[in-house]
């Protein structure tokens, strides 16, 4: 439509910040940390599952999502000083970041990988994340040489204050993966995009070995 700016004509939204609060490339906003967000003792205990980085052995090093033509390196990202999940710099918008307080992909629990949706120059690594469909494959290669293959269960949008933390974080349950970026309408200001976009995926069993 004439006169309407594309989302990447303005400073890009930084991908995920902890517990669903986003910041924009124009200036990082203050994000609630897990213990600030949680109000009841049970919530605080669940939020503080593990505040230390995971061991480097087995960490993810590359990501392939054939359905949306993503083939990208994965680097570890920690927690920023303002309580947000750190993300790759905008100058590395084709890269993704594994939240190193989450589990290693393929291990029990929910691994989290984040990426930018765009920059002022155009689409970034997770621009088409919302196009994934149930059954699409996600391949995560780890530093130990293993390849964890996941199948998408669903892709869902959540408002900034509606992130389902119990579905995104945690060390319990079967091996799962969460790919997260921002999306929805561009609202600007300290909010950036209106939504979180999350691909929920479950580890597939290894393929049976072919007899020699």
Ordered by start, the domain boundaries in the chain are 7-50+58-203
Q: What does the alpha-carbon distance between residue 201 and residue 8 come to, in Å, rounded to a whole number?
A: 28
The first and second tokens of residue 187, run together, are 């609202």
The first and second tokens of residue 86, run together, are 């750190």
Residue 186 has pLDDT above 50, yes or no: yes
Distance of CA 128 to the CA centre of its chain: 13
For residues 56 and 67, the answer to whether their CB atoms sit within 8 Å is: no
Please state the pTM of the whole predicted model.
0.76
Q: Which pLDDT does position 210 carry in this prediction?
A: 65
Q: Which pLDDT does position 184 carry in this prediction?
A: 87
Domain 7-50+58-203 matching CATH 3.60.21.10: the answer reads no
Host H or E run for residue 26: none
First vs last Cα of the chain: how many Å apart? 60
Poorest-pLDDT segment among 14-23, 81-90, 148-157: 14-23
φ/ψ (deg, to 5) at 45: -65, -40
For residues 100 and 165, the answer to whether their CB atoms sit within 8 Å is: no
Q: Which pLDDT does position 86 carry in this prediction?
A: 81
Q: What is the mean pLDDT of residues 25-42?
A: 29
Poorest-pLDDT segment among 28-37, 41-50, 149-158, 159-168: 28-37
The first and second tokens of residue 126, run together, are 């997770």
Q: Which pLDDT does position 7 carry in this prediction?
A: 43
Residue 12 has pLDDT above 80, yes or no: no
Torsion of CA 129, 130, 135, 138, to 10 degrees: 10
Higher pLDDT, 85 or 96: 96
Q: Which pLDDT does position 146 carry in this prediction?
A: 95
Q: Which pLDDT does position 57 carry in this prediction?
A: 72
Q: Which pLDDT does position 54 carry in this prediction?
A: 65
Residue 30 has pLDDT above 70, yes or no: no
């Amino acid at each position: 439509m004439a006169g309407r700016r594309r989302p990447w004509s303005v400073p890009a939204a930084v991908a995920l910040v902890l517990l669903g609060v986003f910041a924009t490339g124009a200036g990082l906003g203050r994000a609630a940390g897990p213990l600030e967000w949680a109000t009841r003792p049970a919530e605080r205990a669940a939020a503080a599952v593990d505040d230390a980085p995971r061991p480097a052995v087995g960490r993810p090093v590359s990501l392939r999502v054939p359905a949306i033509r993503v083939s990208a390196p994965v680097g570890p990202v920690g927690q920023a000083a303002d309580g947000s999940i750190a993300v790759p710099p905008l100058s590395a918008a084709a890269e993704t970041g594994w939240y190193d307080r989450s589990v290693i992909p393929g291990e029990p629990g929910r691994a989290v990988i984040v990426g930018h949706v765009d920059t002022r120059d155009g689409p970034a690594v997770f621009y088409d994340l919302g196009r994934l469909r149930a059954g699409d494959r996600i391949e995560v290669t780890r530093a130990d040489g293993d390849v964890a293959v996941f199948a998408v269960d669903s892709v869902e949008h959540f408002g900034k204050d509606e992130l389902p933390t119990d579905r995104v974080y945690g060390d319990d349950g079967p091996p799962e993966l969460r790919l997260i970026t921002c999306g929805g309408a561009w609202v600007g200001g300290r909010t950036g995009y209106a939504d979180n976009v999350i691909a929920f995926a479950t580890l597939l069993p290894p393929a049976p070995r072919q007899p020699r």
